[in-house]
Amino acid sequence: MTTTLITGANRSLGLETARRLLEAGHTVYAGVRDPSTADEVRALGATVVRIDVTDQASVDEAFASLPALDVLVNNAGVLGTSYGVDDLSAEAMAAVLDANVTGIVRVTQAALPLLRASDGPVIVNVASGVGWPRFLSTPGHDEYPVAAVPYAASKAAVIALTVQYAKNLPGFRVNVSDPGYTATDFNGHSGHQTVTEGTDATVALALLGQDGPTGEFHDRRGRIDY
């Protein structure tokens, strides 16, 4: 049985990822900041674990409660409070980086002992095309109109840290997904994709065997060339 932890698993993309991996036969631990908001993922059959990716003690306690781990899906993230330059501050930048980038490092480092004991360790980091300069700078792409600095910079960092983790962990499959413009709470459900479409890449990467790729960036259509 494959044991999987998904952070931010109580809504939107995280919830749908949990549903699909449970359907695929995984034992799913649903990481959430507030277990009282996790009734929906609990009802699917996941075991709810309290984890706040910005709090080291919370992260350590969460992993101490797990019996094993084969797949880690770093899905938790925040949009932040800055949407342009005029409302940007160092504090706004730091808050987004702490949740979206340093949070992944906190969780991944805590997960490594359990993942190293797995026969097929897999890490999937959920980034965004908003973190890809080619998409941000190309008219016609969904990402092109986005002006927010912290969120874009944080997701660019997630893509880079995924490449570096993959190089450091050759026995793992470590990849990064772009959900695409999906209707979620993040964007007021304005996206043109369903949450199922938005989790296609993440789920496919979570189901990789040890002969699968590593260090790659994928959307639902496949690999995005660096």
Assess contact for 107 and 72: CB atoms under 8 A: yes
Residue 4's contacts (CB-CB under 8 Å, 6 or more residues apart) are 21, 26, 27, 28, 29, 69, 70, 71, 72, 73, 206
Continuous H helices in the chain: 12-23, 39-44, 56-64, 90-97, 103-116, 133-136, 149-168, 195-198, 200-206
Active-site annotation holds for 144:
yes
Assess contact for 33 and 50: CB atoms under 8 A: yes
Q: Which of 29, 151, 155, 181 is catalytic?
A: 155
CA separation, residue 99 to residues 105, 106, 129, 155, 202 (Å): 10, 10, 18, 11, 19
What is the C-alpha to C-alpha distance for residues 179 and 199, in angstroms, rounded to an integer? 6
Phi, psi of 87 (to 5 degrees): -105, 15
Active-site annotation holds for 83:
no
The backbone region for 69, taken as left when phi is positive above 0, alpha when psi lies in -120 to 50, beta otherwise, is: beta
List the catalytic residues: 144, 155
